[in-house]
Amino acid sequence: MAKSHLFFFILLVVFFFCCFSYIESSKYDQEELQWLDDKDDEISMVQSRHSSLRTCDFAKGKWVYDQTYPLYDATCPYLSTAVTCRKNGRPDSDYEKWKWKPHGCSIPRFDALDFLGRMRRKRIMLVGDSIMRNQWESLVCLVQSVVPTARKTVIYNGPTMAFLALDYEMSIEFSWAPLLVELRKGPDSKRILHLDSIEENAKYWRGVDVLVFDSAHWWTHSDKWSSWDFVMEGNNIYKNINPTVAYEKGLTTWAKWIDLNLDPRRTRVFFRSMSPRHNRENGWKCHNQKEPLEYFSRPHVPEQLLVLQKVLRRMEFPVYIQDITTMSALRRDGHPSIYARASGEKNNQQLKDHDSDCSHWCLPGVPDTWNEILNAML
C-alpha cells in the first residue's frame, strides 16, 4: 500500500513538472510571437526563423466584376492629377469595378472605421517610388471619407508626407526612397548611387509601427534612362555594374539596417513585390485596354522578386512579402495611358503612340486591391 502511494506521488510530481515546462514553453512562444494576430495565418511570410503561415494565398486568383466597387469616389481630394484618369478624359470606368478573388478564400472588404480603430495611435509608412506614392494616395482615399474635414490634414517633412486622422492619433505616411539606399549628387552634378549608405533615408523610418517597402523600378531603367551615373561601394567607384548585382547589394544594406535598428515586437515590416509595366517591352501597349486578362499560361516571375526572396531569407527580422505582381500583370486596363494629364480627346489621340503611361495606375483602381490585401495581412 505504501509503495502504491509512493508510486502515485512520483507520478503526480512528474505530471506537474511536465505541465509547468509546457506552460513556460507556451508562454515563451506566446511572447515571442505576441505581435502576430489571428489573421496572420493568411499571410505568406518569408523569414529565417519561423515557418510560413499560409492558409490562403492572396497572390493566386482571378479578377471578378463587382458593381459595388469602387470603394471611394474619384473626386477624392488627395489624388494627384496623373492618376485621376476619368477627370483627365478617360471615357470608360469599368476599370474601377474589378475585385480580386483569391482561389479558395476571400479578401475582406475594406472598412475604413475598422482600419482606423485598429491603427489608433499608430504610424503606417509606405516607402518607395512614385508607384508607392500611387498606393499611398489609394490608402488615404480609402480612409479619409469617414474623417471629418476639420479633423484631418496632410503635413510635409523633407521627402515624407503624412495624412493625419487627428481623432485617432494615427498617420498614413509616404517616404520617397526609390532605391532605398542613398542617391547623391557628386562633382558636375553626376548622380552617385551609394550601395552601402542608407541612413539619410532610413532616419525617417524610425518609430513607425507598420512599414511597407517597395524598390524595383529604378533598378531596372535602361542605359538611356539610368537612375545613376556612377555606383559607389566603400571607396570603390564603378561606371558600369550589373543592375541585378547592384540591386542585391542595395537590398542587403537595407536588410542589415532593418535587422540592427527595428524590433519585431514594435514594428511590422512588409515588402511589396514589383508592380508590372504594360509597355512595348511587355508585348502590348495599355492604351484602349478595357478589361483584365483572364490568366497567364506561363506567369513570369521577375528577377527582382527572386533577389528579394534571397535577401529576406538571410535576415533575422521577420519581413512579409506582399506579392501583387501576377495579379497586377493581368490588369493592362488599369493604367493612365494617355489620360495621365487633362486634355481633349483630339489631343489624346495624337499622343497615344508617343506619351502613354503604362506604369502607374488610375485611381480608384488596382492599388485599392493592394491595400485591401495589406489590410487583411494586418
**Residue 357 catalytic?**
yes
d(C-alpha 225, C-alpha 241), whole Å = 15
Position of cell 508590372?
Answer: 276
Per-residue cell: 369: 486591391
Q: Which of 335, 357, 359, 368 is catalytic?
A: 357
Q: How many Å separate Cα 282 from the centre of its chain? A: 22
Query: In terms of DSSP bridges, do strands 230-233 and 191-194 run parallel, antiparallel, or are they unpaired?
Result: parallel
Q: Which of 44, 130, 227, 343 is catalytic?
A: 130
For 77-92, give one letter per residue: b (16+ CB within 10 A) or e: ebbeebbbbbebebee
Strands (DSSP E) contained in the chain are 45-46, 61-65, 98-102, 123-128, 152-157, 160-165, 170-176, 182-185, 191-194, 210-213, 230-233, 236-238, 268-272, 319-322
Q: Are 153 and 170 in contact (CB under 8 A)?
A: no
Q: Which of 194, 278, 335, 360 is catalytic?
A: 360
Residues marked as catalytic: 130, 357, 360
